[in-house]
Amino acid sequence: MKSVIVIVFTLLSFVSYVHAQKSCGTAGYWQEQLSANPLLGERYQHISNAANNIAKKESGALVSDLTILIPVVVHVVYNSESQRISKAQIQTQIDALNNDFGKLNADTINIPKPFAPLAVDCKIQFALAKVDPDGYATTGIVYTKTNETGWKQDDKMKFSSSGGDDAWNSRYYLNIWVCNLSKSLLGYSTFPGSDVLKDGVVIRTDVFGTIGNESTAYSRGRTTTHEVGHWLNLKHLWGDTDCGDDGVDDTPPQKTYNTGCSSFPKITAGSCNNSGTGDMFMNYMDFSDDACILMFTYGQKQRMRTLFDSGGARADILQSYALKEAWKTKPVAEDTLASTTSIIIYPNPSVNEIYFRDSDGKKIIPDEYRVYDVKGKLLIYGAKHAFVNIARLTPGIYFSRIQYAGEQRVIKFVKN
């Protein structure tokens, strides 16, 4: 018994050690989640069995090959301004996901010949959400300023109570948190069946997207492709153990992960039998550099798509309203708030009236002002007044939209 414990402990240390060295923290994270919550293990076993059964039963024919469109919300949790990545950078990541999952990249010609027939278009695509969980229009991006300077794979970025940003309902959205993860970690993901408040992927800011991206080895957005692969139930090719199983038939077994860019064929002496073609190091679920991972296989596609079958762990996402039309209107998009607050409301909170001040502290008189509640209902409006009387409002959060010096500004304030 003692020796078993020692072996298990050694194995877990090995897993942590491996992931401290390089890139993806998903395997270590998942072990921690399973240890903390035995019910999660049972739930995941059902999902896993479904994937295995269908993979065997169908062997070759997918039930449906319609394109699955996944709504995405990107939570940018930033401390410094450089971590507040642009919308354009975020869009390049969505594009990269679509290219990778759609087998649309020009570099797929680099897939070695014996593996080329296995590379597929997964018919899974992604788009930034247009509607938030409350029915309001959104850009699908939430910027959250935080005092935290660095993050670990402990999920704190997923909760506003710990300086992060709360998940949107993961039945209908893929949540992606972009934050300053510690340098040994590029990203990590949950597997299907996880706690809904934590469900999603976390990516280090400097490897997200394909522009404004500081990391040369990971500049093609493929860390996110890899982590979203996990979110869609794909495992590492080596099954996180020596010649382990990834639950997919057409990826050859391999001893462990590959890094950098390997030459084909990559055969490790004394390793698992992989029939002369060696490791599939160019698969998105290996650890090779972005420039050298190029494909998902048919078996991986099937394993991912099983989640969307009737009763599947991610089937609800097909019913998502997130890419339809918003049914409520707001005075402002949340994400414009941070950039339009060079004018300050004071006092804030206030009981009877509010005044306006510019960034130099000088009192200003707006050309026009409007006050809305959080549902976008116009409550007060006027022009050319030094202050706005808010005495009759019930206590709560409000937005003031003012016209001043030819520009519109929106400022949040609290009525006490």
Which residues are at the interface with Zn ion (CB under 5 A)?
24, 26
Closest-CB residue for Zn ion? 24
Place of tokens 């991972």: 293
- Min. distance of Cβ 172 from Zn ion in angstroms? 24
- CB of 24 or CB of 232, closer to Zn ion: 24
- Min. distance of Cβ 340 from Zn ion in angstroms? 39
- Min. distance of Cβ 240 from Zn ion in angstroms? 9
- Min. distance of Cβ 312 from Zn ion in angstroms? 22
Give the residue numbers marked as catalytic. 227
- C-alpha to C-alpha distance for 219 and 294, rounded to whole angstroms: 14
- CB of 191 or CB of 399, closer to Zn ion: 191
- For residues 114, 226, 263, 21, the Cα torsion angle rounded to the nearest 10 degrees is -150
Which residues in 7-102 belong to E strands, given as ranges?
A: 68-78
- Min. distance of Cβ 14 from Zn ion in angstroms? 16
Backbone angles phi, psi at 414, to 5 degrees: -115, 130
3-state secondary structure of 92: helix
Q: Which of 74, 69, 72, 199 is nearest to 122 (CA)?
A: 69
- Min. distance of Cβ 226 from Zn ion in angstroms? 5
Q: Is 97 left (phi over 0), alpha (psi -120 to 50) or beta?
A: alpha
H or E, element range at 295: none
Q: Helix-strand-coil percent breakdown of the chain, rounded to 5?
A: 30, 20, 50
CB 110 within 8 A of CB 263: no
CA distances from 265 to 138, 274, 277, 283 (A): 47, 10, 6, 13
Half-sphere exposure of 192 (CA within 13 A, CB side): 26
CB 400 within 8 A of CB 354: yes
End-to-end CA distance of the chain: 63
Return all residues near 9 (Cβ < 8 A) that are at least 6 apart. Answer: none
Chain-centre distance for alpha carbon 128: 11
Beta bridge partners of 398: 373, 413
Q: Amino acid identity of 139?
A: T
- Min. distance of Cβ 262 from Zn ion in angstroms? 17
Q: Which of 215, 226, 198, 220 is nearest to 283 (CA)?
A: 226
- CB of 78 or CB of 257, closer to Zn ion: 257
Q: Amino acid identity of 27?
A: A
- Min. distance of Cβ 188 from Zn ion in angstroms? 7
**Which tokens in the block code for residue 320?**
């998502």
Q: Which of 148, 93, 99, 102 is nearest to 124 (CA)?
A: 102
